[in-house]
Amino acid sequence: MTPADLSLTVQHAVRRAVDDGALRVDVPPRVKVERARPGGVGEYASSVALSLARPAGRPALDVASVLKERLDGTAGILAVDITGPGFLNFTLRRESGAELVAAVRAAGIAYGRGDALAGESFRFEPVAEARAQVVVGCLLGLLAGQGADARVESGGERPHVHPGAYEPERLGTDAARWRLLRAAPHDRPLDGPPLLVRHERNALFRVQYAHSRARRLLVNGRQLGVLPDHGSDVEHPLLGLLRDHPDVLLAAARHRAPDRVARHLEAVADALLGFQHTVLPLGDEKPSAAHRSRLALAEAAGTVLAGGLSVLGISAPDRI
């Protein structure tokens, strides 16, 4: 369950409580859920009961109890706890590795996009500075990918961006964009020339190379008679990174921080490059269900890399 799914689930619980007559309030158009604070209970929290308490004419703890009754046992939610004056805290039920890989493969490069910001509008002031234009353009895509209405319009928000030249004619489009987007907007852009070097110290090269390796593994697998199949589980840190991808995209949109996407792609690429040598049979080893599951995981990781690069406006080559 993604944060967007959880938000809709809580909203539906409010609607059921209203339909049942347990609450007399207007159903909010959107319910905000956030990561639980360090030391808190569960993974996500919502203050919806506190916001509904006054219009309902009831204590927030009572409202939270009404909603908890309708949320307990919901698919995807392991536990619902009430803390403090009436916060709802959620512990999510983790899907298996096989279910996660299946979800990524089904969604393709759209995995992680959703409607968590549906109904929200974001306006950005027109800017002339080169780096600011690149950053704002990327933010428009990130916000739209979460269902928001985002556009450039006079009187809008002006993100704080450290100036930097956009030089596709000197660096190529990919390196020119990575240089400006990988650094936090308020930091200096990265040095350009090192991004042209095909070396493991070049993070852009690692990310694009990892994607190309995922694509090549599929080709090599077909030659060996091994096709990706997510029918059985495989344990690897890649799964956690794939599971985090929707949260990373949402946080990058909310905090105006495309660099979060770039850093996440680096982590996925490094994990995939360390995993690639275990995917296909070696020597006289016979193909097995484990190889098919590993290949499906590698394919899913490549899909996340391609989707993340597309958000940044950077290519995901099949071969390097």
Mean pLDDT of the 231-257 span: 90
Mean pLDDT of the chain: 94
Mean pLDDT of the 50-72 span: 96
What pLDDT shows up at residue 24? 95
pLDDT at 59 over 80: yes
Give SS3 for 53. Answer: helix
Contacts of 239-243 with C-beta under 8 Å, sequence gap 24+, read: 239/97, 239/100, 239/101, 239/297, 241/267, 241/268, 241/271, 241/301, 241/304, 242/100, 242/101, 242/104, 242/268, 242/300, 242/301, 242/304, 243/94, 243/100
What pLDDT shows up at residue 131? 98
* Residues 251-303 pLDDT 10s: 999 999 999 999 999 999 999 999 999 999 998 899 999 999 999 999 999 99
% of the chain beyond a pLDDT of 70? 100
Angle between helices 203-224 and 173-182 (to 10 degrees): 120
pLDDT at 33 over 80: yes
* Residues 93-138 pLDDT 10s: 877 889 899 999 999 999 999 888 888 999 999 999 999 999 999 9
- Asked if residue 298 lies in contact with residue 217, where contact means CB atoms within 8 angstroms, the answer is yes
What pLDDT shows up at residue 228? 96
- Asked if residue 56 lies in contact with residue 63, where contact means CB atoms within 8 angstroms, the answer is yes
pLDDT at 26 over 80: yes
What pLDDT shows up at residue 90? 95
What pLDDT shows up at residue 38? 78
DSSP tag of 276: G
What pLDDT shows up at residue 84? 92
Mean pLDDT of the 218-236 span: 90
What pLDDT shows up at residue 53? 96
